[in-house]
A and B are shown apart, each in its own frame.
Chain A
Amino acid sequence: MKIVVIVKEVPDTEARITISDGKPDLNGVKMIINPYDEYAVEEAILQAEKLGGGSVTVVMIGSDSSRKNLTNCLALGAEDAILIKDDALSGADSIQLAKVLKAAIEPLGADFILAGRQGVDHDWGLTGIALAELLGWGHVGLITSLSIADGKFSASADGDSGKMSFAGSLPAVFTTDKGINEPRYASLKGIMAAKKKPVAEKTLADLGLDAATVGGANAKVRFVGAELPPEKQPGRIIEGETVEAKVAALVDALRNEAKVI
């Protein structure tokens, strides 16, 4: 069983983001593996263990500085990794990135692909689903459980109207939600082993792709500005002798000042 996981780097969720020149300024911000992708990596390793003899390949579009985070995925238990890096990809939209990933992943003969439900940077949530469409595969988004047997899958997802139960045949793409598993930490043995695991670097040319088509210069979605949300002004602490008095003052304010109850 061949399992492919797509991961990306995002700014640390604890980071405060600033704007410079009309764009989010990520200089000096610590980059981490997208938290939703950590669930995808863990699920891939769990499934490989369950299925016995499965192997996991991690694929990332990144840069030279991404190697550390990518190596950490190997330390968790993936066999090998592909790092796609090309300056032309700067500003590329998610469907372009899905085309790049398709070119890298198609030769691997994957039985299924896992990815996080969305990057917690631009929050598109598109790449994994677009990849399924480009491959002509089915997909299930936002999965909170997955079981694989005899070339078929069943999966569940937290829908807005209730828990959704899905079924279908492999190959397929699954995007993971938080709650599906508890990502492990790398063991010392894993960290040592990761140093010897292969990371193949690929450019667009290596993948037989034309930068004019999949590069950022041809993106169909473009950022034209960015600003920080209006800063919320601190309100007031409600004083009172007793809990009853404080709450009475609060209810009065909510009813007559804020008019929300």
Chain B
Amino acid sequence: MNSNPRRHALRLVLVTAGMFGFGYALVPLYNMLCDAFGINGKVATTAARVGTVEVDRSRTVTVEFVTTVNGGRPWKFRAEQASIDVHPGQLYTVNFYATNTEGHDLVAQAVPQVAPWDAAKHLRKTECFCFNNQTFKAGEEKRMPVVFMLDPELPAYVDRVTLSYTFFDVTDVAMQQNRGT
């Protein structure tokens, strides 16, 4: 036949390289889709600006708190209360307590998650310990306030929102970054 096999093969090698790149392109694509549709329970990790919002006193939603320490570390980590009843549009403050029970300093990062997934983008936090790394001295206990509100656009069927925090040990990564800067 008339076409050139070698060039055909090279074209397919290019396709292969392109698909390798596509695998990497899926990462920003996925994050964009999650952000755009507020899916996957992802919460903003920067402070939200809360303007003047009408408080909806006719509606009460229960917000539950779940705390986890990743990787079986022995730290103590809890919310001061297991749940709180809130009115959409009003700001609330809930304190979280964490204790480094290990004999050395460490840096930890909390990762938030919200269920149900479509409540995630309606949970606005003006202050949260998850916005930054938290440094703990050996044996140190910290009180960490979270200031949040549910905006009144929360879907009508939602009467219970679960906010979960998982603490990860990021000491190694944080040390490297400090050395770098």
Partners in one complex: no
- B-binding residues in A (CB < 8 A): none
